A = this chain, B = another copy of it.
């Protein structure tokens, strides 16, 4: 026996969510049908509404249902400082860490020639147009500390070199609260070469 066809379809549809295997999909379907029909109706309608209405900020390309997102809209941000990230989730992580008061630009990915993801797909033209406006003094290339993220940062810095802005990259090093024993060798050797003067004052 399986469940009825429509329940099987529902379990199958849940598999589109990240980290959801057959057992979890079954639990989700049973939970919605047995105990949370109101919440399920709400979930269905909000998913549909979000897919219909959420697009990209015309200025920074982050996900938003507005034409221009709240961070691009506010006058209370430093126009001279631009942080380039791979995804809206990275942007959120930086915002939640606090301290950065500039603007953002979201690539939605990184260069990946083998997958056909070139400069167009990550919006390099749009980024260049923004730099050409002339307000930006420093660009923080906060792409991921991976081979692809590095390559993307290098490409962007080379492409925009002629505008005379400063480029920076997040510091590499051991994570706060981590134990050296568990830090990988690549990170540890980067932390050594980037070591900082220290005094006990």
Contact = CB atoms under 8 A, between A and B. Distances in A.
A40 B47 contact: yes
Closest 8 CB pairs of A and B: A16-B39, A1-B95, A44-B47, A4-B64, A13-B46, A44-B48, A6-B65, A13-B43
Interface residues of A, number: 57
A94 to B, nearest CB: 9
A13 B65 contact: no
Contact of A31 (B18, B44, B45, B71): B18
Summarize A's interface: helix, strand, loop or mixed: helix
A70 B13 contact: no
A26 B89 contact: yes
Interface in A148-180: none
Contact of A10 (B6, B13, B40, B46): B46
